[in-house]
Structure 1
Amino acid sequence: MQLKPNAFRLHETARGVETMSRFALAVLALASGVYTYLGVRGLLDGSASFVFFAAIIYSAAVSVAIYAFWTYMMRFIPLVISGVQRLSLFATMLIGCVMIVAMSSWLNAAALAGSAALEQHMAVTLQGYAEDLDNAHANALASQSLLPDVERAAARFAALAQDERESGALTGTQGSGSVVQLLSQMSTQMTQLAGTISGSREEAAALFADGSDRLATMRELVSTPGQIEPRADAFQAEAVQLSAVIAALEQTDIAASVKRAATDLSAGFIAPVADGRVGDLAVRQNQVMETVRSSVDAQSMALVAAADEILASPSVEQRRFVPLSSAEAVIRYWSDFIPSWAGAISIDLLPVVLVLVLMIVNDAMRREAETLKEAETITAAEMLRAMALYRRMEAEGAAEAAAALGPAIDDHEKPASEEKTVAEDGTVTPIDAAQRKRGDGPRPA
Structure 2
Amino acid sequence: MSDQDSNARQDHDAATAGNRRGAPGARMARELEGHLGFLETFTGTALGVLSVASGIYTYLGVSSLLDGDGAMLVFAAIAYSVAVSTGIFVFWSYMIRLFPAMQTARARVGLLGAMGLGSLAIVAMSSWLNAAALAGGAAVEQHLAETVQDYQEALERTHEIALSAQGLERDVARAQQSFADLSEQEAAGGLSGLAGRGAVFRVLRQKSQELTALQAQIAEQAPLVDSAFTEGNRLLSEMRALTVEPGPVEARSVEFSEKAVRLAGILAELRQLSVAPLVARAAQDLSASVVLPELDGTTEEMRGTQGATITSVLDVLVQRAATLDTAAQEVMAMQPAEETTYTPISSADAVIRYAGNFIPSWAGAIAIDLLPAVLVLILAVTQSAIRAGRDTAPIEERMTIADLRAALAAARDVDAALIEGRQSARAEAAYPPAPQPPAPSEPPLRPDPSAPEAPETRERDTGPGNRSGTGAGSGSGSGSGNEASS
User: Is the CA contact 1:154–1:187 (under 8 Å) kept in the aligned structure 2?
Assistant: yes
The residue aligned with 1:296 is 317
Residue of structure 2 in register with 1:389 after alignment: none
Instruction: Note the alpha carbon deviations across 1:158-212, whole angstroms, 9 max, x for none.
Output: 22223333x2222333222212211111110010111111122222111111111
Q: Equivalent residues in 2 for 1:323-334 (5 A)? A: 323-334=344-355
The alignment status of 1:210 with 2:207, answered yes or no, reads no
Given candidates 181, 200, 216, the residue that maps to 2:221 is: 200
Which piece of structure 1 moves more, 8-17 or 19-28?
Answer: 8-17
- Matches of 2:79 and 2:37 in 1, distance apart? 34
Q: Which residue is equivalent to 1:401?
A: none
Query: How many residues are paired up?
Result: 376
Please say which structure displays the higher CA radius of gyration.
Answer: 2
Query: RMSD of aligned C-alpha atoms?
Result: 1.7
Instruction: Determine if contact 2:295/2:303 at 8 Å carries over to the other structure.
Output: yes
Per-residue deviation, residues 187-245 of structure 1 (Å, max 9, x unmatched): 10010111111122222111111111111111111121221111111111111111111
For 2:280, the equivalent position in structure 1 comes to 259
Shift of 1:374: 5.3
Counterpart residue number, 2:148: 126
Q: Superposed, which structure 2 residues align to 1:294-443 within 5 Å?
A: 294-373=315-394
Mapping for residues 199-278 of structure 1, pairs under 5 Å: 199-277=220-298
1:97 to 100, 119, 136: 119
User: Which residue number corresponds to residue 82 of structure 2?
Assistant: 60
Q: Give the whole-Å Cα distance in 1 for the aligned partners of 2:116 and 2:254.
A: 41
Deviations 1:264-290 (CA, angstroms, capped at 9, x unpaired):
111111211111215733222222211
Aligned to 1:114: 136
How far apart, CA to CA, are the structure 2 residues paired with 1:354 and 1:56? 28
Q: Which runs of 5+ in 1 are unaligned?
A: 378-445
- SS at structure 1 position matched to 2:358: helix
2:88 maps to 1:69: no
Please say if residues 140 and 253 of structure 1, whose CA atoms lie closer than 8 Å, have aligned partners that are also in contact: yes
2:32 paired residue among 10, 26, 31: 10
Task: Kindly provide the CA deviation profile for residues 401-442 of structure 1, in whole angstroms up to 9, marking residues without a partner as x.
Answer: xxxxxxxxxxxxxxxxxxxxxxxxxxxxxxxxxxxxxxxxxx
C-alpha displacement at 1:3, in angstroms? 4.7
Q: 2-side partners of 1:358 and 1:195: how far apart?
A: 86
Instruction: Read off the aligned partner of 1:45 and give its amino acid letter.
Output: D
Give the distance between the partners of 1:127 and 1:30, measured in 2 at CA: 40
After alignment, is 119-128 or 156-165 more displaced?
156-165
For 2:160, the equivalent position in structure 1 comes to 138
Aligned partner letter, 1:182 = V
Distance 1:159 1:4 in 2: 113
Deviation of 1:315 (Å): 2.5
For the 8 Å contact 2:165–2:275, the answer to whether it is kept is yes
Counterpart residue type for residue 139 of structure 1? I
Partner amino acid, structure 2, of 1:288: T
SS state at 2:167 partner? helix
Q: 1:2 to 1:174 in 2, by over 3 A?
A: closer
| Deviations 1:305-360 (CA, angstroms, capped at 9, x unpaired) | 11111122222342211111111111111111111111110000000111112212
Q: Hey, what's the Cα distance between the residues in 1 that align with 2:200 and 2:379?
A: 106
Within 1, Cα distance between the matches of 2:245 and 2:279?
A: 45
What is aligned with 2:473?
A: none
CA contact (8 A) 1:247 1:318 kept: no
How many Å separate the matches in 2 of 1:2 and 1:151? 101
SS at match of 2:68: coil
In 1, Cα distance between the equivalents of 2:249 and 2:41?
Answer: 42
- Given that 1:250 and 1:316 are in contact with CA atoms closer than 8 Å, whether structure 2 keeps it comes out as no
Q: TM-score, normalised by structure 1?
A: 0.81
Contact 2:153 2:337 in 1 (8 A): no
1:31 aligned onto 2:53: yes
CA distance in structure 2 between the aligned counterparts of 1:6 and 1:145, rounded to whole angstroms: 87
Task: Determine the C-alpha separation between the residues in 2 that align with 1:181 and 1:367.
Answer: 113
Q: After TM superposition, give the deviation of residue 12 of structure 1 in Å.
A: 2.4
In structure 2, give the amino acid aligned to 1:44: L
Counterpart amino acid of residue 58 in structure 2? T
Runs of 4+ in 1 over 4 A off after TM superposition: 1-5, 374-377
Find the aligned partners of 1:317 and 1:124 in 2 and give their Cα distance.
14
C-alpha separation in 1, matches of 2:253 and 2:72: 24
Please say if residues 25 and 388 of structure 2, whose CA atoms lie closer than 8 Å, have aligned partners that are also in contact.
no
TM-score (norm 2): 0.74
Q: Distance in 2 between matches of 1:71 and 1:177?
A: 106
